[in-house]
């Protein structure tokens, strides 16, 4: 059974990562048509350095994702704390209302946002993208931070208050340090959701301002080039590096006491 379980796990990993590895490898293949045998080259990365559209779209995606991560994490963390530690009327209903934005197809959400933004005069552009991305990321942040809050004893704050601390100081001195790994994880989740978002970006972007997924889609319609593999590899390596650093220093799940 152990051998079968290991084989099954290996098959799942191969299924998930083999297409990504092929994509990364083809970014170093000399053939523009992915012909074999494989011949190593870096000319697609050199060509990428002169592709202003892909580079600009990549920078736009990173900037929007970073701002989204900050805003969604701040708003989502405050909402999670309020729902978990405060007697909010209709708390169960509010928690349930966090699930539909995650479950509703993004095509419907994008259409609704486009209609609403035009109806209210917000329009399209970077500001509309930020609003849309933050709105989509907040439910994920609330769920992640809320799960972290449920692992922290609420009586620790009460003990600090009984010793003379104010409720605000007790939160920042006691709860927030324990909650930091969950907050960082939620921020990474919000960053990933924004960076990967295509539908909302497609509906709300303007011809002069596009994110990387939208630009890649437009480029594929004209003809796929390995430059897309190159910039995808750069973003993938960067994202994975951040996740590895977080996993090393944040120690999700908490460090075990070996004594």
pLDDT confidence of residue 71: 95
Residue ranges per structural domain of the chain: 58-250
Size (the chain), residues? 259
CATH topology of domain 58-250: MetI-like fold (1.10.3720)
Cα separation, 24 vs 229, in Å, equals 6
Buried b (16+ CB within 10 A) or exposed e, 165-200: beeeebbeebbeeebebbbbbbbbbbbbbbbebebb
Would you call 4 exposed, middle or buried from its count of C-beta atoms within 10 A (0-12, 13-18, 19+)?
exposed
pTM beyond cutoff 0.85: no
CB 77 within 8 A of CB 186: yes
Are 190 and 237 in contact by the 8 Å Cβ rule? The answer is no
Handedness of CA 176, 177, 178, 184 (dihedral sign): positive
Quote the CA–CA distance of 189 and 45 in Å, as a whole number: 28
Instruction: Render each residue's pLDDT in the chain as its tens digit; 259 residues.
Output: 788 888 889 999 899 888 888 888 888 888 877 778 888 888 888 888 888 888 888 889 999 999 999 999 999 999 888 887 766 676 677 777 777 777 888 888 888 998 999 888 888 888 899 999 999 999 999 988 988 888 887 777 778 877 777 877 888 888 888 888 889 889 988 998 898 888 889 898 888 888 888 888 887 777 677 888 888 888 888 878 877 777 776 654 444 444 4
Q: Is the distance from CB of 124 to CB of 206 less than 8 angstroms? A: yes
- Write down the pLDDT at residue 253: 46
Across the chain, the runs of DSSP E, i.e. the strands, are: none
**DSSP per position, 13-80:** HHHHHHHHHHHHHHTTBS-TT--SS--B--HHHHHHHT-HHHHHHHHHHHHHHHHHHHHHHHHHHHHH
What's the pLDDT at 47? 84
Asked if 23 contacts 233 with a C-beta cutoff of 8 angstroms, the reply is yes
**231 and 212 Cβ atoms separated by less than 8 Å:** yes
When computed from its CA atoms, the radius of gyration of the chain, rounded to whole angstroms, is 22
């Amino acid at each position: 059974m152990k051998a079968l379980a290991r084989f099954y796990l290996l098959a799942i990993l191969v299924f998930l990562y083999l297409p990504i590895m092929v994509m990364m490898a083809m970014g170093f293949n000399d053939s523009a048509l992915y012909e074999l045998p494989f011949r190593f080259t870096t000319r697609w990365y050199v060509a990428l350095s002169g592709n202003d559209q892909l580079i600009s779209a990549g920078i736009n995606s990173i900037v929007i994702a970073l701002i989204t991560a900050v805003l969604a994490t701040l708003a989502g963390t405050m909402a999670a704390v309020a729902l978990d530690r405060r007697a909010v009327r209709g708390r169960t209903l509010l928690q349930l209302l966090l699930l539909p934005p995650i479950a509703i197809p993004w095509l419907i959400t994008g259409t609704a946002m486009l209609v609403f933004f035009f109806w209210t005069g917000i329009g399209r552009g970077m500001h509309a993208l930020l609003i849309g991305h933050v709105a989509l990321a907040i439910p994920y942040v609330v769920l992640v931070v809320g799960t972290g809050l449920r692992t922290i004893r609420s009586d620790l704050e009460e003990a600090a208050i009984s010793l003379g601390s104010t409720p605000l100081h007790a939160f920042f001195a006691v709860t927030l340090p324990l909650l930091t790994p969950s907050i960082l994880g939620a921020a990474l989740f919000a960053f990933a959701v924004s960076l990967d978002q295509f539908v909302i970006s497609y509906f709300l972007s303007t011809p002069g301002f596009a994110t990387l997924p939208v630009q890649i889609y437009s480029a594929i319609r004209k003809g796929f080039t390995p430059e897309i593999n190159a910039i995808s590899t750069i973003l993938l390596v960067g994202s994975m590096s951040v996740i590895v650093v977080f996993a090393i220093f944040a120690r999700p799940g908490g460090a075990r006491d070996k004594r």
